[in-house]
Structure 1
Amino acid sequence: MAEEGETLELYNLHYSDLMTLSSSLDQFPTSYENNEYLESVMTTIMKNLGPSGPGLLAITGVPNASDLRPTLLPMAWKLALLNNDDRKRVLKDHGLGSDVPLKNIDRTVSPFAMQLKYNLNPDVSNLCNKNHSETDGFSSDTESPCEFKNLGNTFKDLGNCMIELGLRLARVCDKIIGGHELEQSLLESHSAKGRLIHYHSVIDNLILQASNKARSKTKKTERTSSNHSDLWQQWHYDYGVFTVLTDPMFMLAPENNGSSQSCDRKECESPSGHTYLQILDPNKNRVVMVKASYGSFIVQVGESGDILSKGKLRATLHSVCRPKGFENVCRETFVVFLQPSWSKTLYVYDFSVESSSSNGEDSRICDEDDGQQEPSSDIGKLVPPLCDRLKNGMTFAEFSRETTKQYYGSSGLQSKR
C-alpha cells in the first residue's frame, strides 16, 4: 500500500479520564460541567470504537510507561539476532517462548511471548502504578546477560499495566452499551497473552544469513531480501476482545555494519511519521495509515469484542507494512491480547454479522456481490469470512482454533506467508 496515502490520527484518551470513567460508581462524583465533559469523552470513545469509527484509539498519559517502554522494546531486536542456543537459554530463564520457528533465518518477524496471569476484583487494580519487579520476577533474572537482566520483570510490569488499560476500557464500553459482558468476559479469563515483537529490517535477515553460513559450512544459503513482501504482517482481524499495543519504536542499524550481530542501534523517528500499522477503513473502503502519539498505547477491537457487544464495537481489519527504501530500519512493539475465557460461549448477534458493515463490503461477510471493491477485494481474499469461522454457540476456544486454521493452516489462505 502506498505510504503517501491517507493517514488516520488516532483519538487520544487520557489515562486520567479513563480512570474517572471506569469508576465503579454509576454517577460521577463531579460537578455538572465536568459531567458534561465526561459525557463528551464517552461519546467520542464510541464514535471511534463503534460501527461508524475505525475500531481503535490511543491512550496517553499512562504512569510508568515512559520508563518501561524504552527499556523493554530494544530487547526485541537483541533477542531476534542472538544465536539460537543463547536465545533459547535467555527465553527459558525469563519464562518466555515463541509462536514462530526462530530457526527460520528468512522470517520477517520474531515474537517472544508469555502468558500473563491476573486475578482482579471488580474494582480493577491500579496496575500501572505498581512495580512488581521485586516480588514477581524470576530468580534467574540476576543470572542473565546484562542486557536481558530485567527482561522477565519488565515484560510483566508493562504487560500488567496494559491489561489494566484494556479492562478499564471494557468497563467504560459496558457502561455505554449496557450490561457487563465485555469486562466480565475478561475477568473470567484471568490471563492475557503478551508478545514482544521485532519486525526485521532487510539488514537483520542478511545478518541471520551470514551467521547461519558461518555455523554451517555444509549448507549453502542464498536467500535474498527479494523474497520479502511489502508487508511485515499480513491482513487479519484479531479474534480477542481488545488488543493493546505500544506505540512502536523504530531502530536504525548502521548500513556499513550490517554483517555484525552486535552492531549498535539507535532509536529513530518513523520514516514516514506514522506507525506502519494500517487499517482498511470500512466506511471509506480504503487503506489508511495509523498515526499515534509518541509513548501512547493503541487499543483496537477484536472480533470477540465485536460479537460480545452485539456489533456496538467494530473489529479492526489491519496489517503492518514495511517502510520503502529503508533497509536498515526495524520496528519494535509490545502487544497484549485480552481474550475471553476459552469456555466462553459466543453467539451470533441478533441482527447478524452481515449487518455489522455499514456499506455491505466488509470482508468478513459471506456475500455473493461481485461489485467493484478497490482495494478491499484483494484484501478480502486473504481474510476468511467471519461467517465461515463462527458458528452460533461456539466456545471461544473453538472459534480461535477455527480462525487460526483458516488463516494459517495447511490449507489456509495465508499459510505460505
Structure 2
Amino acid sequence: MDEAAVSNSSVIEPFELSYSDLLILSKYNEIDDSSSSLSEEEITRRKSMRRCIMEALGPEGPGLLSISGVTGASVLRRRILLLGRELALLDPERRKRILKEQCLGSDVPLKDPDRSVSSFAMQLKYAEGVGNSQSKEDKELSQISSLGNNGFNMNKMMNIQHEDFHHLGSSFKELGFIMMDLGICLARICDWSIGGHELELSLMESSSAKGRLIHYHSVKENVVLKQSEKKLGINKSRISCKKNAKHDKSKMDISTANEVQPCDIMSNLWQQWHYDYGIFTVLTAPMFLLSTLPGEGGEYNRLFDSSVQECPYPDEHTHLQILHPRKGKVFMVKTSPESFIIQVGESADILSKGKLCATLHCVHRPPRCKDMSRETFVLFLQPAWTKTFTFSGYPVDQLVFDCGDSKSSDDDCPLNKHDRRLANGILKLVPPLMSRLKDGMSFAEFSRETTKQYYGGRGLQANR
C-alpha cells in the first residue's frame, strides 16, 4: 500500500469498554440485573453496553473492541515491552541463553537478519490463569472505583537494567494472565448475549493459551543485523528465497494494470494480511520506540547500546489495519496507549454461528520512520485441539467476505474504485475460510491447514 493511500485511509476508534464494566457485565447477566435493586438508569446503561459489544464484534462491526483502565497493567506492560526490544537486539548466544533460562521460545527464524519481527513465545495454562483471576475478582470489583489510571509519560523511558531479564518469564506470565482474564470475561458476556456457554466452555476445555512478545524491527535495525550476518557468512537459503520473491514479483507485474497489485498490498507491512484462527486475540496497545545508533562498536553492541526514546503514535494511530467485513474498506485502528485490544478469531466466528465476526488485519510500517520500532504483547485464546467444528446453523451468506457486489459497476457500489480494488486484492491474497475448514474438522486439523495455506509452499507469507 503506497504512502498516499495510507494517508487517505479512514481511521476507526473501536468501542471502548472500561475494565470495571467488563467485570460487572461478566459477573451479572440481564436476568440478574432485572431482579436486583439497580436503578432503571443503570439497567439501561448495562443493556446498552452489551448491545454495543455485540455490534462491535458482530458481522456489522469491525470485529474488535478495546478495554481501558485495567488495574495494575500499565507499569507491567511498559516493562515487558521494553524488555522485548532489548531481547530482540541481543547477540544470538546471549539471547539463546536467556530464552532457555526464562522458558521462552520463538516461532520466527531469529537467525534471519531480514526478519521483520522478533517474537518470543510461551504457553500459559488456563487453569493457573483463571485461578489467579478468580482470587482477585471480588477485591477488584470493590476497589475499582477508587483506583486511578497509572500515568503514561510519552517522552520518558523506564530504565532497563540487564538483570531485569531474570524476571522476564514471571512478568510474561503475569501480563498474560491479566489478558487471559479479559478474554474469558468477554467470552462469558458474548455467551449470555448469544445463548449458551459455547465460547467460555471451549476456552476452559483448552489446556493453554499462547503468549507472544513481539518486536517489529526498524529499517535501520535490519541494516545492522545484515552487517553482522556478513561477518558470519552469507545464508544461501535466504538468497534462494529472495530469488523466488523476485520471480513472483515479475509474475505480479504482468497482471492487469487496472487492479491493485499484490506487491503493492504486501509492501511496507510489518505483518501481512491474515485472520487469527483462535477464539480471541488480546493485544496490548503498541509502544513505538525511536532509536539512534552509535557510530562505533560491534554490530550487536550498536543495537543494544543505541539511544532509545519512546514516542507518540505515528499519525496518531496504532498502525494496526483492518478490512471491515461489511464496509469493505481498510481502516487504521486508533486506541489509547493504555488500552488493550481484543480481536475476534475464526474459531469464535464458527462457534457463535456467525454472531461474532473474525477480523482480517495486518500491521503497517510507518513509511517515513526508518528509525522507529513497534512493540506489543499478544495472547491467543483458543479452544482445545480436539474441539470439533461444524457449519450447521452458520449463515451461508457470511461464508463469503462481503465487500460489495463484484459484478456490479463501479458507479453502483458505495465504495470508490480504489477501495474496492484494494479490498478485492487483499481478499485474493488471503485463503478463504471455506478452503481451510471442512465440516467435522478438529481445531488441530483446522490450525494445521490454515498454517499450511498461509506459510507453506506458495502461501501468502511463505517467503516472509
* TM-score, with length taken from structure 2: 0.80
What residue number does 1:95 align with?
103
Secondary structure of residue in 1 paired with 2:47:
helix
CA deviation vs aligned residue, 1:38-59 (integer Å, no higher than 9, x gap): 0000011011001110000000
Q: Is 2:25 the counterpart of 1:21?
A: yes
Tell me the alpha carbon deviations over residues 40-92 of structure 1, each in whole angstroms, 9 at most, x when there is no partner: 00011011001110000000010111111111001111111111111110001
Matched, 1:388 2:431: no
| Aligned residue in 2 for 1:294 | 337
Match of 2:268 in 1: 230
Match of 2:354 in 1: 311
Choose which of 35, 41, 45 in structure 2 pairs with 1:33: 41
Structure 1 match to 2:6: 3
Equivalent residue, structure 1, for 2:367: 324
Alignment gaps of 5+ in structure 1: 131-143, 363-367
**Per-residue deviation, 1:383:** 0.7
Q: Distance in 2 between matches of 1:127 and 1:300?
A: 25
1:54 to 56, 62, 80: 62
Identity of aligned residues (%): 52
Alignment of 1:209-228 (within 5 A): 209-214=226-231, 216=232, 219=234
1:252-263 counterparts in 2 under 5 A? 252-254=290-292, 257=295, 260-261=302-303, 262-263=305-306
Query: Equivalent residue of 1:265, what SS?
Result: strand
Q: Is the 8 A contact 1:127 1:160 kept in 2?
A: no
Residues 166 and 211 from structure 1, CA distance in 2 versus in 1: closer, same or farther, beyond 3 angstroms?
Answer: same
C-alpha separation in 2, matches of 1:122 and 1:89: 31
Paired residue total: 396
Report if the CA contact (8 A) 2:59-2:325 is conserved: no
Query: Greater CA deviation, 201-210 or 83-92?
Result: 201-210
* Structure-1 residue corresponding to 2:152: none
Alpha-carbon distance between aligned partners in 2 of 1:151 and 1:123, rounded to the nearest angstrom: 19
- CA change 1:327–1:197 in 2 (3 A) is same
Q: Distance in 1 between matches of 2:135 and 2:451?
A: 33
Q: CA deviation at 1:190?
A: 3.0
Letter in 1 for 2:228: S
Q: Is the CA contact (8 Å cut-off) linking 1:42 and 1:176 kept in structure 2?
A: yes
- Give the letter aligned to residue 56 of structure 1: L
CA distance in 1, matches of 2:454, 2:318: 24
Q: Which amino acid aligns with 2:460?
A: L
Residue from 216, 224, 234 that aligns with 1:199: 216
Contact map agreement 2:206 2:382 (CA 8 A) in 1: yes
Structure (1 or 2) with the greater helix fraction: 2
Residue by residue, what CA displacement relative to the aligned partner does 1:316-363 show, whole Å, maximum 9, x if unpaired? 00000100111000000000000000000111142445435683659x
**Residue by residue, what CA displacement relative to the aligned partner does 1:237-291 show, whole Å, maximum 9, x if unpaired?**
0000000000000001015659612212121111211001000012221111000
Measured on the aligned residues, the alpha-carbon RMSD in Å equals 2.8
Secondary structure, aligned partner of 1:195: strand
- The 2-side partners of 1:257 and 1:251 are apart by 19
Q: Does 1:413 align with 2:460?
A: yes
The structural deviation recorded for 1:3 is 2.6
2:283 matched to which residue of 1?
245
Q: Name the structure 1 match of 2:308.
A: 265
Q: What residue identity is the alignment partner of 2:134? A: S
Counterpart amino acid of 2:184? L
Change in Cα spacing, 1:6 to 1:375, as seen in structure 2 (3 Å) is same
Helix, strand or coil at the partner of 2:118: strand
| Letter of the structure 2 residue corresponding to residue 31 of structure 1 | S
Give the deviation of 1:219 after TM superposition.
4.4
Change (3 A) 1:340 1:257: farther
Q: 1:11-56, CA deviations, whole angstroms, 9 ceiling, x for partnerless residues?
A: 1100111111001564034332211110000011011001110000
* Residues 1:369 and 1:404: Cα distance change in structure 2 (over 3 Å): farther
Which of 285, 295, 308 is residue 328 of structure 2 equivalent to? 285
Contact 1:127 1:161 in 2 (8 A): no
Matched, 1:345 2:349: no
2:90 is the counterpart of 1:73 = no
Compared CA separation, residues 124 and 87, structure 1 to 2 (3 A): closer
Which has the larger displacement, 180-189 or 373-382?
373-382
Counterpart for residue 116 of structure 2: 108
Whichever residue aligns with residue 240 of structure 1, its letter is: G
Counterpart in 2 of 1:365?
Answer: none
Distance in 1 of aligned mates of 2:344 and 2:98: 33
In 1: Cα distance, 2:368 partner to 2:434 partner: 39
Q: TM-score, normalised by structure 1?
A: 0.88
Structure 2 CA distance for partners of 1:57 and 1:220, relative to 1, 3 Å:
closer
Q: Which runs of 4+ in 1 moved over 3 A?
A: 120-124, 126-130, 218-224, 255-259, 351-354, 356-362, 368-373
Larger Rg: 2
Q: Which moved more, 1:262-271 or 1:110-119?
A: 262-271
Return the offset for 1:125. Answer: 1.7
Separation in 1 of the partners of 2:72 and 2:442?
36
Question: Does 2:317 align with 1:274?
Answer: yes
Q: Which position in structure 2 is the counterpart of 1:168?
A: 185
- Structure 1: how far apart are the matches of 2:60 and 2:325? 9
